[in-house]
Amino acid sequence: MPATRLLIAMTLACVLCGCGQMANQEISTHTPVGSDPMEKWSRSCSLCHINGIGGAPRVGDSEDWAPRLAQGDEVLLTHTVEGFNNMPPLGYCMDCERSDFVTLIKFMSSGLRP
């Protein structure tokens, strides 16, 4: 159930970056389901990026993301769209736009909810 996964992810992201205030604050900003990038995240990227399945960099884990970010945004975007080793093309998000991927990558690498 996506809502549960989202909650787990938020909790995890919070524990990982040690900012207890963040979740409560961010959750109040509501966007309609469908256009909400977090809804897309919770039914696609979260499947692997919460627990690091297959070696996926974990959401909000700055150590996991540091070497990825060092490659630059363009490389990350290309690897997301075209796939990269165990990372499937489009990350299972068939209705994601490029701008969604940018938002989702930013979210995962920072742990900050869009």
Work out how close the CB of 73 gets to ligand HEC at its nearest, in angstroms, rounded to a whole number. 9
Q: Which residue has the tokens 């909000």?
A: 60
User: Which residues form the interface with ligand HEC (CB under 6 A)?
Assistant: 44-45, 47-49, 53-57, 68, 71, 75-76, 79-80, 84-88, 91-93, 96, 101, 104-105
Work out how close the CB of 50 gets to ligand HEC at its nearest, in angstroms, rounded to a whole number. 10
Give which of 35, 30, 64, 94 is closest to 105, Cα–Cα: 64
Q: How far apart are CA 106 and CA 53, in angstroms?
A: 19
Residues 38, 6 contacting (CB under 8 angstroms): yes
* Per-residue DSSP letter, 55: G
Work out how close the CB of 112 gets to ligand HEC at its nearest, in angstroms, rounded to a whole number. 15
Q: Which residue has the tokens 């990558």?
A: 105
Residue among 25 and 71 whose Cβ is closer to ligand HEC:
71
Work out how close the CB of 79 gets to ligand HEC at its nearest, in angstroms, rounded to a whole number. 4
Residue among 24 and 31 whose Cβ is closer to ligand HEC:
31
